[in-house]
Chain A
Amino acid sequence: MWPYVLKRILWFIPTLFAVTLIGFILLANAPGDGVNSLVMSSNSGGSLKTTQDIEQQKTYWRKQLGLDLPLFYFSICKLSEPDTLYKINDDVELEKAKKHIKTTGGYKNYLPKIVWYGSSNQYHRWLFGGYNSKGIIRGDFGLSISKKEPVIAIIKDKLIWSLFFSILSIILAYAISVPIGIKIARQPESKFSKGSQFILFLMYSMPSFFVGVLLLMLFANPDVLSIFPPSGIKPIGGYDDDTSLLEKFIDSVPYMILPLICYTYSSLAFISKLTATSIQEQLQLDYIKTAKAKGLNEKTIIWKHALKNSALPLITVFSSVFPSIVGGSVIIESIFTIPGMGLETVRAIIAQDYPVVIAIITLSSILTIFSYLLADILYAWIDPRIRITK
């Protein structure tokens, strides 16, 4: 078992590395000058009067954010370009310099060269830490431009809400759809299974934003039925200091019902269908006949024997349901204004706060990778054959 787990973990390191690289490429190509907006927004009081002061502030922030470093470990550039071109931060100046190089470079413009910068670069600093940064491996995702706080402090609470909803909805989805799947597998021709299959298929095709807005329109609308609150996750005005955790939870329940329906309904069809087909396969095998001949009742046969053997595909689904829920949270959270990662992504994109966006993408990819890893290990734990053959 353990060698297999170790091997899996080792395989996941390059994936993690590639995911962070994609995140970094996105961050490096983000439009707009973050430092400029940072300095300008802090200068709204007018404390920096001369342009020289502003330039000084900009240089200071560039150093703080590590933007005075080269982008990557190496760079591929024209032979005519000097290897310190990255030090020019002003776009206009850079354009001028490049034009000058182009006109004077001659044949050297068309020959490549590789410049090696070593480990003092933006990517290394972003990933492993460096001057004024701990790196994302220690949980430091840099500074949010619009809020001027560390990104991780912003994301932390949001992550808890998103995880809370996604884990709860996964549990709910399994709790509802596995029994349905079993019922369909036992009597595939009955009215119940045909009807439920059709309804589940309809639900599977429903876009989550449609369902969300429809639910709000029907159940949180003073004109129709005002059962649930339309947005947020806790009562307006917050809690008193002396309310207990249980009371807080009970107060929040009405806020959670509609979002949870939205999170859960679309995966029901998928999981129940999978349960039904894999249990149907199991029911035709000999060991089920043996169990029947032994005189076991049908409930024990299905829940104790068949379900255990058909658990493998269900685990696979678990690892693929998770990323789709993370992605779907963008929509559901912005419908119900849940302060989670999805809503934060939309806010950050509208505010052009790219460090936050990239941090959310990188973090959720890492979480997804871990869910794959978890699924693989569960796989090996349930089915010992996998450990040996792979």
Chain B
Amino acid sequence: MNVKQSYSSFKNILSKNRVLKRCVYVFILFVFISILAPFIANDKPLVCKYKGQWLFPAFSLKHQAIVNNEIINYNMAKDWKTLETDFAIFPPCAYSPNTIDADNAPRKSPFDEQIMTLKNGQIISIPLKYRHWLGTTQNGNDVLSCIIHGTKTSLSVGIFSMLIAGLLGILLGACAGYFQNNTLKIGYIQVLFLLLSIFISYFFCFIIRADKLSEAFKEGGLGMFFQILLIIYIFIQNTFILLRLGKWIDEKLKTDNRFYLPIDVIISRIIEILNSIPSLLLIIALSAISKPSYSLLIMIIGFLSWTSIARLTRAEYLKAKQLDYVTSCRAIGMSNYRIIAKHILPNVFPLLLVQIIFGLAGAVLIEASLSFIGVGVPLNIITWGSLLNEAREHFSAWWLVVFPGLCVFTLIFIYNKIATEISKLK
């Protein structure tokens, strides 16, 4: 199935199911808001004319501009609103999430009278276009702007962690379900080489490169991601080479000492162990041990939540293995890899997708919960959860509870609804 076909079938499904259609549209809206956040909520104007020169501060990557030998710093928050520009178009929400509006500082409600100090010291009631539509926080951050920029965090944590979890879960679940305990034969020499490869890979990954690893994990971000990829690569490569070597020796010696590799038992045990540790507690502990960052959080959630996907994949592959089309595939001598990836996977994927979307909702919930209790997430970034956290001490600030809470609720609700609607399709 090519892209055009799948797009048209997707459209077909949407036109039949109105609830699903609406949910998908709201999700797309969320995605657009997260991508366009800097142009929807920014304290710099999109376009302005200052002393006869056109400026585009919101789109500019530089931090300052020179007009008539006067240096204008783009990041001076208050400046743009009090600057005597000839003409300026501000984004719909004229504040950045980290802009601190000291005039409306300790928690102004959306209906309170909001004020603004002009450059000459005159205090006026705030113009409509600069109003804090959803109120302000304790420090004077604009709630609407924080919510708009928080969309990106919530969406990306969910999507990227589920990407990891989905890949891992489908791979391991498919191996467990398809090979079970009685398909893959392995010689004793090969097992010996497998253990040897784990030993050697461990040594080369963690002992020799210990300094670089700890450095990368302290810094976090892309470097850490690269290190993890490297570790996975070293493990896979070593295992592959040594297994081949073991097989070659096995064939030379012509030993008959072969037994079935109990892949199903091994993977099921791993799933059971991971399931028995309360994942929220483990995530809190892990992210407290290392320096909090979102890339680490994504990886932790990804590497812990693949189990439910793997369990479902295993069950589906077990079922599919009994069906006639798989038997006939095997009868004509197709390779196991081809059967797993090209014949069974497309058949069971819609079901797995449901589970992955439910997982998305779970990941969003975990991220929001962590930033709500303020553990394991970078504290300088304001998200939906951390806005709610501020309301805990001041119950009178209802706008800090209702708006971010509704955002989290809406996103989770949409994910859950999409998942249930997809599962009802058949």
Contacts and interface: CB of A to CB of B under 8 A. Distances in A.
Given A326-B281, A327-B279, A361-B278, A216 B395 contact: yes
Contacts of B289: 26, 29-31, 354
A54 interface: no
Contacts of B388: 209-210, 213
B276 A365 contact: yes
The range of chain B's interface size is 35 or more
Interface stretch (A144-152, A171-179, A345-353): A345-353
A360 interface: yes
A223 B277 CA distance: 41
A334 B276 contact: no
Contacts, number: 141
Contacts of B373: 330-331, 334, 346
Interface string B246-275: 000000000000000000000001001101
A209 B385 contact: yes
A331 B372 contact: yes
B233 interface: no
Q: Which are the 4 A-B pairs with shortest beta-carbon distances?
A: A327-B280, A210-B405, A205-B413, A112-B203
A6 interface: no
B365 interface: yes
A76 B199 contact: yes
A19 interface: yes
A15 B278 contact: no
B7 to A, nearest CB: 29
Nearest to A211: B405
B285 A217 contact: no
5 contacts: A15-B276, A213-B392, A223-B396, A331-B369, A357-B288
A15 to B, nearest CB: 5
A213 B405 CA distance: 9
A342 B284 CA distance: 11
A76 B203 contact: yes
A15 B277 CA distance: 11
B278 A364 contact: yes
Interface in A320-336: 323-324, 326-328, 330-331, 334-335
A269 B93 CA distance: 38
B390 to A, nearest CB: 10
Contacts of A202: 413
Given A76-B202, A112-B203, A213-B401, A207 B277 contact: no
Nearest to B369: A331
A369 interface: yes
A213 B278 CA distance: 23
A141 B408 CA distance: 38
A217 B409 contact: no
B280 A26 contact: no
Interface in B117-155: none
B395 A207 contact: no
A365 B277 contact: yes
Nearest to A343: B373
Contacts of B409: 205-207, 210
A110 interface: yes
Interface string B289-322: 1100000000000000000000000000000000
B3 interface: no
A346 B375 CA distance: 8
Interface in A68-103: 76-78
Given A213-B388, A330-B369, 9 more contacts: A14-B269, A110-B208, A207-B405, A210-B408, A210-B409, A331-B372, A345-B281, A349-B285, A368-B275
B282 interface: yes
Contact of B391 (A26, A217, A230, A372): A217
Contacts of A210: 388, 401, 405, 408-409
Contacts of A19: 273, 276-277
A262 to B, nearest CB: 13
B55 interface: no
A214 interface: yes
The range of chain A's interface size is 35 or more
A205 B412 contact: yes
A151 to B, nearest CB: 14
A189 to B, nearest CB: 16
A216 B392 CA distance: 9
A320 to B, nearest CB: 8
A31 B269 CA distance: 30
Interface string B185-227: 0000000000000011011000110000000000000000000
B262 to A, nearest CB: 13
A205 B200 contact: no
Contacts of B284: 330, 345-346, 349, 357
A214 B401 contact: yes
A15 B276 CA distance: 9
B368 interface: yes
Contacts of B365: 207
Interface string A211-223: 0011011001101
Nearest to A325: B278
B369 A364 contact: no
Contacts of B278: 323-324, 326-327, 361, 364-365, 368
Interface in A178-229: 201-202, 204-210, 213-214, 216-217, 220-221, 223
A330 B369 CA distance: 9
A324 B276 CA distance: 10
Contacts of A110: 208
A365 B416 CA distance: 28
Interface string B354-372: 0000000100010011001
Given A214-B405, A331-B373, A350-B375, A78 B281 contact: no
Interface string B369-393: 1001101000000000100100110
A365 B199 CA distance: 28
A368 B369 CA distance: 21
B231 interface: no
Greatest chain B CB density within 10 A among A210, A216, A345 is at: A210
Given A29-B289, A112-B199, A216-B395, A364 B416 contact: no
A119 B408 CA distance: 50
B359 to A, nearest CB: 14
B325 interface: no
A257 interface: no
Interface string B24-36: 0000000000000
A372 B276 contact: yes
Contact of B375 (A22, A327, A349): A349
Contacts of B413: 202, 205
